[in-house]
Structure 1
Amino acid sequence: MESPPEVVNFGKSIIVPSVQQLAKQPLDKLPPRYVHDFVSSGLRTSDDSSLLSVPVIDLQSLVSGDRMDYELERLHCACKDWGFFQVINHGVSIELLEEFKREIVDFFKLPSEEKKKLWQQPDNHEGFGQLFVVSEEQKLDWSDMFYITTLPSSLRRTQLFELLPPNLRETLEAYSVEVRKLAMTILGQMAKALKMDSEEMRELFSDGVQSMRMNYYPPCPEPDMAIGFSPHSDADALTILYQLNDINGLQIQKEGKWVPVKPVQNGFIVNIGDIMEIVSNGVYRSIEHRATVNSTKERLSIATFYSSNLDSELGPAHSLVGPNNPAVFRRMPTEEYFKEFFARKLNEVGPASTLLNPQNPPQFQRVGMEEYVKDFFSRKLDGKSFLEQMKGAENGADNTSI
């Protein structure tokens, strides 16, 4: 009998106060740990949204009708040039979206004593809190989040699921199934656009790891000095975001500017993650993005992260590489990718030693797990992609420790 898959663990985290509770106090100024210098000193925000607007893809036209080829080319260009797009006519029930919205709003309104039962534990990243705080000096984001693994069910933390309000748990189950269907449809269309073997894409993601992060961004006394979610790129394949209210905050990096994203009604915002950049052999881009905050209004959203199967091999799609199109990234088992990048028990992350030899030198440096976690989760990425941070051999990094 096969043993169940190992639950991926990000490691220990320092518990921090709830920002939602903090924001209820009469604050004139931000507490020092929430003041970010890069907010005011970094790239400027685009002031012409008419010229820079995230593409909107009509999924119904993409999968059927006489506009399929046209919409497929638009999807391909969006993934190459933007790394972001919005999806309308996606097939997910509006009634389900509205019900999920109500449940999440009520969830964040739970009394603090109820939330304590769902708070992150020191050795576990799932639950209420902020994602991986590793030091008392670390700058914090002006937000609370609830993070949970949803699929496959064998990876779930059953105790956490059982503590959820029954109506939320039921709606979460239905939503996770529908968003998985949407993710697989989008991935199938990406395979077409890339001229990638569709079966290869299906095998890579058919039983993919799915997790969700519910985000709450309270009103902020000094929004120009705070950040809701610091600049980062996502480590998954696809992120599907549903915004729960009409307060804008998501911004993406484009042409040297931060471009605000205005969600279309009842649509989803989709972005390419690092895994998809690897699978596409660098054709599709995992783009840095951030969340800003508002002085008077709260903002709520839910992000669904979809990654490859744990038992698959991660690397550029075989059907996309050849003598005239060499692989940009190395190959690695997905489970090893997760373990080496995220597992608490490892001391280092970097290319798997078993994949390296003189003819196959590393592209990424090895770093201590604590250093990696601080770089990736400390909200101090200052806009740099994780993939760029980890590149090593061809950029003069010292690989003598490998």
Structure 2
Amino acid sequence: MDQCTGPVDMATLNNGKVSERLMGSLPVDSVRALATSLTATDHIPTRYIRPEVESEAVIIPGEDDEDEIPVIDYHKLLDPELSDAECSKLHLACQNWGFFQLINHDVPKEVSQRMMFVIEEFFKLPLDEKLLLKQRPGQPDGYGQLFVVSEEQKLDWADILIYHTWPLHLRTIALWPTKPSTFRDALDEYSMEEKKLANCLLGFMAKNLGLYPAEITGNLENGVQVARINCYPPCPVDRKVLGLSPHSDSSILTLVLQVNDVPGLQIKRNDKWLPINPLPGAFIANVGDALEIISNGKYKSIEHRAVTNTEKERFSIALFHGPEGDGTVGPHPELGEPLYKSMDFESYTNLYLSSKLDGKSFLGRLKLNK
């Protein structure tokens, strides 16, 4: 029985604590190494084949009047004369979409470009060099995988790097790449710029909910930030694998940067998959499960997935922002009768990391029965 649905999980959830040993993902082989040896006629290992990919409906751009996620202009949020109108757009985006593209943000272009460069260079390294940074037992940080909780479950067509980037004492610097030589500085600078941006956005979201920012995250400066860097190798057979299984994020707010020009992100919209085409220089932002819980359902986290390309590799980096490490995830008391359970953030995070990605099932287990 998978840990995400077994009785141990629910008992642990009710006790409010999750053992650290549950946090680690089972090791799997490098997908990039596998992909480089494949041709269109080769047999893809069974654990990667996802029959649902061929059958599920995907929205073709232009066939629906509402086939683009909202676009929020950061500079308008900051402009005293335009802020109210743009805040209203942000509020509706969080309520009705759970996703939006953020343009005209203040993260310098050169900071993003340096991050994009080191990501692509890292994944070009020989496998034995990347394996020097492999995840340690029971810990998520490093090179490897997440959410693999059984030997039978289907696997994602991706290799990843995962790092706690804030607060500083959570950083496992020994597992941060030194090749290319600029990697650590690039990730440090990029993550700090993203942290400032996320803090500002969360301030506007809190205002829209009638709250103070601290009522969402606690001390904004101590809010946890985690980076997930994704490499989605090409798969020569179209619509057979998934780069990232359908899920919603556990975070309060996620900011995603498309590293190269290969699209792949899709969100669930009206029971169909809607492809997202990032605007040049924009970040894709989305509401996470924690914000849906804290807002007591007023803001919605949205199921999303990543698909692969038959010829080109895709890279992205997602920065997940959560509350203080010793904070609590639970409905704010001023936002109506609670619809979700409350638990400390550490246990909430550990429970999420010990689960298999499966749509919004994680959030479903945190709903109160009415």
Q: Which has the larger radius of gyration?
A: 1
Alpha-carbon distance between aligned partners in 2 of 1:255 and 1:277, rounded to the nearest angstrom? 19
Matched letter for residue 360 of structure 2: K
| Aligned position for 2:114 | 99
Indicate whether 1:11 and 2:23 are aligned.
Answer: yes
Alignment CA distance shift 1:170-1:79 (3 Å): same
Q: Is the CA contact (8 Å cut-off) linking 1:11 and 1:123 kept in structure 2?
A: yes
1:203 is displaced (CA, Å) by: 2.8
SS, match of residue 85 in structure 1: strand
Alpha-carbon distance between aligned partners in 1 of 2:173 and 2:332, rounded to the nearest angstrom? 34
SS, match of residue 66 in structure 1: coil
| Aligned position for 1:21 | 33
Q: TM-score, normalised by structure 1?
A: 0.81
Indicate whether 1:243 and 2:219 are aligned.
Answer: no
Alignment CA distance shift 1:298-1:390 (3 Å): same
Alignment deviations for residues 249-268 of structure 1 (CA, whole Å, 9 cap, x no partner): 00001112111100010110
Indicate whether 1:195 and 2:210 are aligned.
Answer: yes
Q: Is the CA contact (8 Å cut-off) linking 1:204 and 1:312 kept in structure 2?
A: no
**Residue 330 of structure 1 is aligned with which of 314, 319, 341?**
341
Indicate whether 1:257 and 2:272 are aligned.
Answer: yes
Alignment deviations for residues 69-112 of structure 1 (CA, whole Å, 9 cap, x no partner): 11111100000000000101110000111111111110111111
1:311 is displaced (CA, Å) by: 2.1
Q: Is the CA contact (8 Å cut-off) linking 1:143 and 1:216 kept in structure 2?
A: yes
**Residue 38 of structure 1 is aligned with which of 49, 52, 59?**
52
Q: Is the CA contact (8 Å cut-off) linking 1:11 and 1:125 kept in structure 2?
A: yes
| Aligned position for 2:60 | 47
Alignment CA distance shift 1:187-1:73 (3 Å): same
Matched letter for residue 338 of structure 1: T
Identity of aligned residues (%): 42
**Which structure 2 residues correspond to residues 46-125 of structure 1 after superposition, within 5 A?**
46-49=59-62, 51=65, 52-125=67-140
Alignment CA distance shift 1:33-1:198 (3 Å): closer
SS, match of residue 100 in structure 2: strand
Higher RCO, Cα 8 Å, sep 6+ = 2
| Aligned position for 1:279 | 294
Alpha-carbon distance between aligned partners in 2 of 1:229 and 1:287, rounded to the nearest angstrom? 14
| Aligned position for 1:310 | 325
SS, match of residue 188 in structure 2: helix
1:193 is displaced (CA, Å) by: 1.3
- Where in structure 2 are there 5+ consecutive unaligned residues? 1-18
Question: Which range is displaced more, 19-28 or 247-256?
Answer: 19-28
Alignment CA distance shift 1:391-1:330 (3 Å): closer
Alpha-carbon distance between aligned partners in 1 of 2:286 and 2:157, rounded to the nearest angstrom? 22
Q: Is the CA contact (8 Å cut-off) linking 2:244 and 2:306 kept in structure 1?
A: yes
Alpha-carbon distance between aligned partners in 1 of 2:235 and 2:113, rounded to the nearest angstrom? 26
| Aligned position for 1:160 | 175
1:336 is displaced (CA, Å) by: 4.0
Q: What is the aligned length?
A: 349
Alignment CA distance shift 1:63-1:157 (3 Å): same
Question: Which range is displaced more, 166-175 or 196-205?
Answer: 196-205
Indicate whether 1:386 and 2:358 are aligned.
Answer: no
Q: Which runs of 4+ in 1 moved over 6 A?
A: none
| Aligned position for 1:346 | none
1:165 is displaced (CA, Å) by: 4.4
Alpha-carbon distance between aligned partners in 2 of 1:205 and 1:231, rounded to the nearest angstrom? 29
- Where in structure 1 are there 5+ consecutive unaligned residues? 1-6, 344-372, 395-402
Matched letter for residue 217 of structure 1: Y
Alpha-carbon distance between aligned partners in 1 of 2:307 and 2:318, rounded to the nearest angstrom? 16
| Alignment root-mean-square deviation, CA | 2.2
Alpha-carbon distance between aligned partners in 1 of 2:161 and 2:116, rounded to the nearest angstrom? 14
SS, match of residue 116 in structure 1: helix
Alpha-carbon distance between aligned partners in 2 of 1:18 and 1:220, rounded to the nearest angstrom? 14
SS, match of residue 86 in structure 1: strand
